[in-house]
Amino acid sequence: MDGGKAVGMVIFVLLLAWMTTGLAHSAPVQAGAPKVEFKETSRDFGRIKQGEVVSHEFTFRNSGKGILVVKNVSTSCGCTAALVSQKELSPGQEGKIKVSFDSRGYAGKVIKYIYLESNDPSRPRQELTITAEVETGPAPRIELEPYNLDLGLALEGEASEAVIKVKNSGQLELVFDIDNPGFTFMVGNKVIGFPYKVPAGKEIMLRALVPVREGRTGTQREYVLIKSNDPARPSLSVFISRYVVTREELRRLFEKYGKELGIK
């Protein structure tokens, strides 16, 4: 056997020995791993009254052969969850997570998510769900369109106008209020005051006159905060943006692009 083949054979034997040793060492780690096992991963509370607070305990056990360590318990907004057992569970030991959901401000079908993060190598993040059908009595229901308005180009020193559709799709009268300093609000050609009322099943076209912001050019962003007696959505925001230019900037834009646009 020449020198090159001999060296190659030695490298092959060493590599094979390293792989075998590595597999031998890794096998016990996997065999002794913890494992999260839940009795149930979802809970349906069925129909509940708006404002009702409901709770449930999810039970899980460590069905693996190593120590299970709970690293974190988190939720999507609208519900709370807390580990009510210790963070470390021996093989065969059970743990519990208590979940509470406050239905105030919700209506209709609601789905919330809870997440358990642990050192389980096969499932480091376990997802749980709770669902409920939140019943409400007769109430106003506010609907806005749109929620985002781009008013485009505006000349410095001139006000802009945003038009927002406010609809009451509920069964009772809608009463809403807006407090935006500097804004003027109109329905039709009439300036309105607040609180303003919209009968059940009716809609209005709300004209919001965006005020002049002296000395400010470029991109400007405003918002209209609407507070109402809708129990499900008592506060809503409409975001308004525009780009304000000076007269000199506008003149340069016309000089540059006017011919291409056919503007004399």
**Which among 79, 75, 43 is positioned nearest to 59, based on CA atoms?**
43
Please give the average per-residue pLDDT across 171-197, as a whole number: 93
Do 72 and 96 fall into the same domain?
Answer: yes
- Whether 26 is in a domain gets the answer no
Contact call for residues 215 and 202 (beta carbons, < 8 A) = no
Count of CB atoms situated within 10 Å of the CB of 118: 23
Q: Which amino acid is at 149?
A: L
Share above pLDDT 70 across residues of the chain, in percent, rounded to a whole number: 84
Do 117 and 175 fall into the same domain?
Answer: no
Tens digit of pLDDT for each residue in 199-245? 999 999 999 998 777 667 788 888 899 999 998 789 999 999 988 88
- Give the span between the Cα atoms of 191 and 184, in whole angstroms: 7
Please give the average per-residue pLDDT across 157-180, as a whole number: 91
Do 157 and 255 fall into the same domain?
Answer: yes
CA distances from 133 to 48, 73, 106, 140, 171 (A): 6, 25, 9, 19, 19
> CATH number of the domain that 57 lies in?
2.60.40.10
Q: Kindly state the DSSP code that residue 30 receives in the 8-state scheme.
A: H
- Whether 179 is in a domain gets the answer yes
Bridge partners (DSSP) of residue 208 are 162, 185
Q: Which residue has the higher pLDDT, 139 or 92?
A: 92
Contact call for residues 232 and 107 (beta carbons, < 8 A) = yes
Q: Kindly state the DSSP code that residue 243 receives in the 8-state scheme.
A: E
The number of domains in the chain is 2
Residue 20 has pLDDT above 80, yes or no: no
Residue 15 has pLDDT above 70, yes or no: no
Please give the average per-residue pLDDT across 9-34, as a whole number: 49
**Which among 70, 251, 224, 228 is positioned nearest to 148, based on CA atoms?**
224
Do 210 and 125 fall into the same domain?
Answer: no
Tens digit of pLDDT for each residue in 36-91? 999 999 999 999 998 899 999 999 999 999 999 999 999 987 788 888 889 999 99
Task: List all residues 6 or more positions away from 5 whose beta carbon is below 8 Å from its beta carbon.
Answer: none
Site of tokens 């021996």: 90
- Whether 25 is in a domain gets the answer no
pLDDT value for 84:
85
Do 182 and 256 fall into the same domain?
Answer: yes
* Range(s) of the domain holding residue 64: 36-135
Task: List all residues 6 or more positions away from 239 whose beta carbon is below 8 Å from its beta carbon.
Answer: 147, 148, 149, 221, 222, 223
Mean pLDDT of the chain: 84
Q: What is the model's pTM? A: 0.55
Q: Kindly state the DSSP code that residue 196 receives in the 8-state scheme.
A: E
- Whether 24 is in a domain gets the answer no
Confidence of residue 32 (pLDDT cuts 50, 70, 90): confident
Domain-ending residue, one of 99, 119, 135:
135
Do 158 and 233 fall into the same domain?
Answer: yes
CA distances from 135 to 51, 170, 231 (A): 9, 14, 12
- Phi, then psi, of 261 in degrees rounded to 5: -90, -5
Residue 96 has pLDDT above 70, yes or no: yes
